[in-house]
């Protein structure tokens, strides 16, 4: 199999038959009796997102089935195994919800989810998500570039990094009663990474609001970085001068770096990153530099030694 280099073409122009068929099937299902009734009790009451346009930032690849995207998850707040979040994330209350945007900004602001949904036109973007554990998915995410939110709060000249903080509430998130990670979950980006148009503030997937297990009601998705950079269920976004220390850096400083760019040439200390298993496929695929987004993001790292800044 030759490595596939995805062009950025509007999905409306190049919708592969499979993708089209699977979406049509889903629309029929969603339009039928009650999708929620088919799903595990209490976990996921599907709520459709309206007025979602196609994005130019999309890869025309076959989608990972919705049931896999929503039942094979990493979300340590709900346990460390892949099937636990779908079973237990029903305890997360996603309304009302606010996200506080603060720190080195001229106009700090608290946004409600309803305000976020209206902040910028919603786009569907088909992105790959590649976990550091060497599996990957292709997901039709819904959201808009994080830069749209950042512009509203007007960062000062001191804003060099952005920190994302997940909700901290062990009653709603029972995994926080164990010390597998330092809670709340924290992630971070350099300012230029956060401003890059590919960085998606994500409110939905597969035509609906995010299921709890995928980080409801709001998360980020960084398509060129390992999945752990894509923080879920965010309650605050902070602009800071110094590089933040993330939960994963604290858990294993020599395994999880701040940058965490998908890089087939830099192995995780305990396994190779050269290949990956696409969920639902048997044969492994070659992992692409920056997860296939090198044309768009490689310039952000020119001059950096990516074996040191891993
Ligand atoms: N708050 C929080 N965000 C998180 C995680 C987590 O444990 N807690 N896991 C990360 C990891 S390791 C991955 S691979 C992705 C998985 O996203 P998905 O379940 O939507 O596929 O979420 C990331 N975001
Ligand atoms: Mo991951």
Three-state SS string over the chain comes to CCCCCCCCCCCCCCCCHHHHHHHHHHHHHHHCCCCHHHCCCCCCCCCECCCCEECCCCCCCCCCCHHHHCCCCCCHHHCCCCCHHHHHHHHCCCCCCEEEEEECECCCEEEEHHHHHHHCCCEEEEEEEECCCCEEEEEEEEEEEHHHHHHHHCECCCCCEEEEEECCCCCCCHHHHCCCCCCCCEEEEEHHHHHCCCCEEEEEECCEECCHHHCCCCEEECCCEEHHHCCCCEEEEEEECCCCCCHHHHHCCCCCCCCCECCCCCCECCECCCEEEECCCCCCEECCHHHHCHHHHHHHHCCCCCCCCC
- In a mutational test of the pocket of ligand 1, which residue from 67, 75, 218 has the highest number of ligand atoms less than 8 Å from its CB? 75
74 lines ligand 1 (CB under 6 A): yes
- Ligand 1 nearest-atom number relative to CA 76: 7
Span 50-72, average pLDDT: 97
Res 189: pLDDT: 98
Report the domain count for the chain: 1
Taking 80 as the threshold, does the pLDDT of residue 34 lie above it? no
Whole-number Å distance, alpha carbon 106 to ligand 2 midpoint, is 34
pLDDT at position 273 over 90: yes
Question: Is 102 among the domain residues?
Answer: yes
Distance of CA 232 to the CA centre of its chain: 7
In a domain, 55, yes or no: yes
175 lines ligand 1 (CB under 6 A): no
Distance 76 CA to ligand 1 centre (A): 8
**Predicted pLDDT of residue 45:** 55
Of 91, 97, 90, 92, nearest in space to 114 by CA: 97
Q: Is the pLDDT of residue 7 over 50?
A: no
Residue reference for tokens 């701040």: 258
pLDDT at 75: 98
User: Which of 298, 63, 69 minimizes the C-alpha distance to 198?
Assistant: 298
Q: Is 76 part of a structural domain of the chain?
A: no
**Given a cut of 80, is residue 113 above it in pLDDT?**
yes
Of 230, 233, 246, 277, the residue with max ligand 1 atoms within 8 A of its CB, to mutate for a pocket test, comes to 230
pLDDT at 156 over 60: yes
Residue 177 domain flag: yes
Q: Name the residue at shortest CA distance from atom 5 of ligand 1.
A: 75
Average pLDDT of the residues in 96-109? 98
Give the Cα separation of 211 and 209 in Å (integer).
6
Asked if 203 and 123 count as a contact pair (C-beta separation under 8 A), the reply is: no
The minimum-distance atom of ligand 1 relative to the CA of 137 is: 21
User: 25 or 165, which is more confident?
Assistant: 165
262 lines ligand 1 (CB under 6 A): no
Q: What pLDDT sits at residue 46?
A: 73
Residue, of 43 and 273, whose pLDDT is higher: 273
Average pLDDT on 39-53 reads 71
What's the rounded mean pLDDT across residues 17-35?
Answer: 45
Q: Ligand 1 centre and the CA of 221: distance in Å?
A: 10
For atom 23 of ligand 1, the residue with the nearest CA is 228
**In contact, 238 and 165? CB cutoff 8 Å:** yes
pLDDT over 80 (residue 236):
yes
Residue 170 lies in a domain: yes
For ligand 1, say whether the CB of 165 is within 6 Å of any of its atoms: no
* Atom of ligand 1 at shortest range from CA of 214: 20
Q: Assess whether pLDDT exceeds 60 at residue 112.
A: yes
Domain of residue 154: give its range: 46-65+95-301
Q: Is position 250 within any domain?
A: yes
CATH number at 115 reads 3.90.420.10
pTM of the model: 0.87
The two structure tokens encoding residue 218: 């709001």
Instruction: Give the pLDDT band (50/70/90) at residue 305.
Output: very high
């Amino acid at each position: 199999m030759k490595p596939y280099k995805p062009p950025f073409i509007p999905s409306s122009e190049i919708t592969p038959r499979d993708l089209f068929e699977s979406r049509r099937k889903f629309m029929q299902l969603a339009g039928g009796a009650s999708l929620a009734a088919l799903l595990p009790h209490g976990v996921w009451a599907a709520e459709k997102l309206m007025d979602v346009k196609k994005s130019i930032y999309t890869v025309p690849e076959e989608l990972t089935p919705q049931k896999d995207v929503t039942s094979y998850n990493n979300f340590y707040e709900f346990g460390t195994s892949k099937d636990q979040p779908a079973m237990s994330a029903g305890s997360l209350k996603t309304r009302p919800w606010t996200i506080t945007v603060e720190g080195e900004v001229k106009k700090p602001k608290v946004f409600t989810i309803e305000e976020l949904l209206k902040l910028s036109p919603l786009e569907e973007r088909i992105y790959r998500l590649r976990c550091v554990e060497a599996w990957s998915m292709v997901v039709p995410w819904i959201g808009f570039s994080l830069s749209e939110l950042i512009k509203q709060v007007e960062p000062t000249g001191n804003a060099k990094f952005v920190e994302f903080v997940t909700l901290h509430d062990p009653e709603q998130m029972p995994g926080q009663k164990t010390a597998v990670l330092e809670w709340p979950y924290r992630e971070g980006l350099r300012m230029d990474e956060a401003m890059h148009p590919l960085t998606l503030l994500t409110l939905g997937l597969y035509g609906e609001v995010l299921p709890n297990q995928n980080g409801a009601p709001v998360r980020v998705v960084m398509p060129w970085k390992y999945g752990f950079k894509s923080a879920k269920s965010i309650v605050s976004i902070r602009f800071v001068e110094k590089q933040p220390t993330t939960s994963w850096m604290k858990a294993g400083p020599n395994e999880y770096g701040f940058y965490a760019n998908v890089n087939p040439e830099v192995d995780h200390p305990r396994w190779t990153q050269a290949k990956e298993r696409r969920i639902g496929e048997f044969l492994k695929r070659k992992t692409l530099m920056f997860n296939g987004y090198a044309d768009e993001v490689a310039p952000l790292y020119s001059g950096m030694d990516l074996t040191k800044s891993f």
